[in-house]
Amino acid sequence: MNPGFFEFISQLSNLEKTRNFNVFAEYSLEPFTKLIKKYKLNQRNDSTQCRIGVIGTNAKGSITHFLGEYFRLSGFKTGLYTSPHLLSPQERIRIGTSSMQFRNITENELNELLSEWISLGAESDFKSFSFFELFTCAAFSFFEKEGIEIQIYEAGLGGRLDATKLAEPDIVILGSIGLDHKEILGDTKEEILREKLGICSHHTKIIYAIRPKEKALEDRILQWSFENQIPCVLFSEKPEDGDYLIRNKNFCYQVFQKILNLESVFNETKINRILAFSEYEPKISFPSGRLSVLKESPLVIFDPAHNPEAFLETLKSLQSLYPKIRFQVLAGILRDKDGDSILKILRMEKQRGSIFNFSILRDSGFSLPQNCNKNESIGLNELSQFLKSDSLEPTLVLGSFRLYPIVLQAI
């Protein structure tokens, strides 16, 4: 009897869980590539219209979601591959159509994929995969099996060595670049950018990107584009558009319009599917877990911001959404993040009066910044009691997707 998918995958290394990213010092995508090719897991069938790779330090998840919504609502069978997940790993692989909102892959569907791989003699080979690599294989296989026309893959980490590179994307979407995972991707934004753009393949026809705030970074993107002979189109954000989700949604609509008019990707019958923004807007859903209201009274909001740039963006967005409310902040910082810079931001925002107070979680896999004072920290048991209090002030919880189930259970 074949093992179930989750039984099989539980035996694989999971870097997201262990945060042991030191393995990337000697990591090569070549073994994974050989097995993908051996079992023909990334082959495209006749229904595949376009594969899109989404990269960047921040905004990847919301860009993947919104772009998927525009394609789905315009009549394309659309698949999304995202990470990490909020509650269930099955959230990572979703499919949707104009008549069906995105649904998660089921456990039975995952079990069927594993059985098919085992029947090909792949079981021993696949035991060498990581958790992320096997889920990426599942996305490749499931999307092709379901005849998904538009396949959108959010990169997990970087791009050049990311498993989603094997999707060989026709189009690459670049979100914002920040200083995260420096020990793996590089010490400067320019180095990190180069690693992420390494996701491009011989299939890649064009790059669409949010215009960086730094002119030097913009120049580096355009230089890379010229040297690699892949056109790049930059889109400027409009600060007046409000919170980061609205800005990302508007960016995605502009990109969506451009993509549908690529003659090298779509024929004329596909191009005719584009509608005006006003026709899409009422039907567009927002991604779960981003600026999400978990409780109305007292107000509790969750956001997965997990690096300094994202913290600033979320706090800025909150001020736009709730200009008359001052929030207290509960943050969980994973040990591989820049906790000192995050602590500095929280202290600065408290001093400015833009937030009421803050506390940083000190256990359950989270770590305190080196200079964090005891009165600036909170334990897991205290956190649960704190969130259950009837006198709770408006609260923002952020720092990691791992906090989402913890907070849901607490409130």
Cβ atoms < 10 Å from Cβ of 43: 12
pLDDT at 82 over 70: yes
Q: What is the pLDDT of residues 171-185, one digit of tens each?
A: 999 998 876 665 656
What number of residues does the chain have? Answer: 411
Strand partners, 80: 94, 152
Please give the mean pLDDT across all residues of the chain: 90
Tell me the CATH architecture of domain 24-283: 3-Layer(aba) Sandwich (3.40)
Position 228: which residue type?
N
Residues 200-206 have a mean pLDDT of 95
pLDDT at 205 over 70: yes
* Cα 97 to Cα 87, 105, 138, distances in angstroms: 23, 14, 20
Strand partners, 51: 151
Between CA 305 and CA 366 the distance in angstroms is: 14
pTM of the complete model: 0.93
For the domain spanning 292-410, the CATH number is: 3.90.190.20
- Give φ, ψ of 285 to 5 degrees: -90, 160
Residues 228-257 have a mean pLDDT of 90
* Burial category of 108 from C-beta neighbours within 10 Å (exposed 0-12, middle 13-18, buried 19 and up): exposed
Q: Yes or no: say if 289 and 404 are a contact pair by the CB < 8 Å rule.
A: yes
Between CA 192 and CA 106 the distance in angstroms is: 35
What are the structural domain ranges in the chain?
24-283, 292-410
Same fold across 24-283 and 292-410: no
pLDDT at 186 over 70: no
DSSP state letters, 249-280: HHHHHHHHHHHHT-TTT--HHHHTT---HHHH
Which range (18-22, 82-86, 93-97, 142-146) has the least confidence?
A: 18-22
